[in-house]
Each structure stands twice: as C-alpha cells, then as structure tokens.
Structure 1
Amino acid sequence: MRRRLAVFLAALLLIVVSAPASVFVTPAFAVNPDEMLADPALETRARKLSAGLRCLVCQNESIDDSNADLAKDLRLLVRERLKAGDTDEEVIDYLVSRYGEFVLLRPRFDWANLALWATPVVVLLCGGLLALATISGRRKRRGPTELSAAEEAAIERITAGRR
C-alpha cells in the first residue's frame, strides 16, 4: 500500500513539475469585484464589450486587462450603460462618440478609415508590381544571347593561342 502511494505521489509530482505554468494560471483581469454586475448575463456582455475596448492610457491593452484609473472608469461606464438598457452597439457608439474611433481595439470598416484597411493591400500590390517590373526589365536588358561574327573571331584567336 505504501509503495502504491509513493508511486502515485511521484507520478503526481512529475506531472506538476513537467506541466507548463499556463496550465495552473488563469488570466488576471483588472476587473474588481465591486465593479461586477449582479446579473451574470449583463456581466458577460460587459466583459465581452470591455475586451474589445482600448485602454487610452495603456494603448494596446483592453480596458478589461488594464489597471489604469481611466480603464476602471470606462469599465464602470460600460456597466452603467448596460444597466440603463443600452444594446451592445449603443454602448460602443456612445464610447466612440465620446473618445473617438481609437477606443476600439478593432477599428470599424467604413469609409472614414478605408485608408487604414486598404493601405496594407495597396502596399503589397505595389511591391508585387515593382518586383515584376524589375524582373522583366532585367530580362530585356540582357540583350541577344548569340555572338556576333567579330566576337566569335576574337574568341577563336584567344583560344587558338592556348592550344
């Protein structure tokens, strides 16, 4: 019996030691318990919305992950708007009207920011066209591959001296 317990504990220790740390760690959100809504459905919506909103202090963190005071204020504002009965889209529209499109981690696709979405595609296309033009230009500059009569005679003279 002791032997089985020792083998079990050794196996458990081996699993714990060899497992990556991410198995035992859960993501840490900056949402404090006093910010959470009593209604689980509203809290789920609030978490979903706040995961897509940028912390204006931390830049590339969502307000859900940020500990900044402004992020806390935004989380509370999202929850207040949801309690007031706003839809998800109305909450997003309110925040965009107040803080600008920058508050969204994923900007909307519309005419106002078409350049933001189109620039990578345009740059790739221009790079591809430039590469094709360069390759075809090199092929054209190579010129004829046959030797003229004077060049063949010069090669004959050079190689005749070696024999």
Structure 2
Amino acid sequence: MLTACQARLARILLLACLLLALPAGWAKEAVPVAEDPELERRMLALSEDLRCLVCQNESLAASRADFANDLRREIREQMKADKSDKEIVDFLVARYGDFVLYRPPLKPTTLLLWTGPFIFLLGGSIMLFVYLKRRNRRVADSTLSEDQRRQAEALLEKGKGRDE
C-alpha cells in the first residue's frame, strides 16, 4: 500500500508527464519545403513588399495567418505559370486594392496617405508657434502695477526684519 507522500508524488509525476505531452498535441503538420528553392526565394522577396490582409501590420512573408498561406500559395502558382512579379502584384491589387501594397502608388486615392504626415507636422508646428507667441504676450503683459510693487517691497522688508 502506498503512503500519502508516495501517492502525492505519483500524482505529481503523472501530471508532469501529461503537461510534457500536451505541446505535442498542439503541433501542426510541417509546411512542405518548396520543390524549387529559386521559386521560393522569389516568392519570399515579393511577399515582403505585400501586406497581410488579416494581420495588417505584418508582411505577407512574415504572417502565419491561414489567409496569408493561401495568398502565398496563389503567388507560387502564378510564378509556376511564368507570370512576372508585376503581373502578380497587379493581380493582387485588382483583387484586394492598394491596401495589399506596403508602398502604394501616388494617385488621387492615396494622396492623403502620402501627404498626411507632412500636413500633420506642418499643422502641429503652426499650432506650437501660435501657442508660444500667445504665451509670450501673456507673460510679458503680467508686470506688476505700482501699488503691487510697493506691497511686494513691504513684504520683503518685513521678511528681512525677521531673519536678522
């Protein structure tokens, strides 16, 4: 018969074994290595300049989303069909819009995207300049009147008398 200490140790060991086996259940099937390493390099280079439509802050090459995998598969198929990078990008832009590009072209629909940061910088600089000018006027205008000056001097004299 097991003692209480031995039974507790057996439970802890069983729990540890289960916890160690758990990650193996989460494992996914390995992504097959490309049959053509040159094609894979070309696909990765192209997908670095494309945005993942699911993650939005990751490139298509870095994203692990299922949709990104589908897009990479589509790019591989088009490359195998001897399409140029420009043709592939044009296909993706026609299907998903300029948002798929990390560097969208300068055109009327993307004008604010390209000029927006400069407009905000200029607007912020003007606002800062106006604020500082108004602040300087307020500081310069806040001089003491003659009556206030006499009161301040009287208080200072009173304070000197106590210190001595």
**What is the TM-score normalised by the length of structure 2?**
0.62
1:139-150 map, 5 Å: 139-144=136-141, 149-150=146-147
Assess if the C-alpha contact under 8 Å between 2:47 and 2:59 holds in 1.
Answer: yes
Is the alpha carbon distance of 1:75 and 1:139 closer, same or farther for their aligned partners in structure 2, counting shifts above 3 Å?
Answer: same
Match of 2:115 in 1: 118
Identity %: 40
Is the alpha carbon distance of 1:77 and 1:150 closer, same or farther for their aligned partners in structure 2, counting shifts above 3 Å?
Answer: same
**What is the TM-score normalised by the length of structure 1?**
0.62
Match of 2:133 in 1: 136
Specify the SS of the correspondent of 2:75: helix
Is the alpha carbon distance of 1:50 and 1:148 closer, same or farther for their aligned partners in structure 2, counting shifts above 3 Å?
Answer: closer
Match of 1:63 in 2: 60
Deviation at 1:110, TM superposition (A): 0.8
Deviation at 1:48, TM superposition (A): 0.6
User: Using the alignment, how far apart are the partners of 2:113 and 2:91 within structure 1?
Assistant: 22
Assess if the C-alpha contact under 8 Å between 2:49 and 2:103 holds in 1.
Answer: no
Query: What value does the CA root-mean-square deviation take over the aligned residues?
Result: 2.9
Which is further off, 53-62 or 125-134? 53-62
Is the alpha carbon distance of 1:31 and 1:113 closer, same or farther for their aligned partners in structure 2, counting shifts above 3 Å?
Answer: farther
| Structure 2, unaligned runs of 5 or more | 1-29
Is the alpha carbon distance of 1:31 and 1:154 closer, same or farther for their aligned partners in structure 2, counting shifts above 3 Å?
Answer: same
Aligned residues: 130
Is the alpha carbon distance of 1:157 and 1:133 closer, same or farther for their aligned partners in structure 2, counting shifts above 3 Å?
Answer: same
Q: 1:82 aligns with which of 74, 79, 83?
A: 79
1:1-163 map, 5 Å: 32-33=32-33, 36-38=34-36, 40-104=37-101, 106-111=102-107, 112-144=109-141, 149-154=146-151
Deviation at 1:92, TM superposition (A): 0.7
Deviation at 1:50, TM superposition (A): 1.7
Is the alpha carbon distance of 1:102 and 1:156 closer, same or farther for their aligned partners in structure 2, counting shifts above 3 Å?
Answer: closer
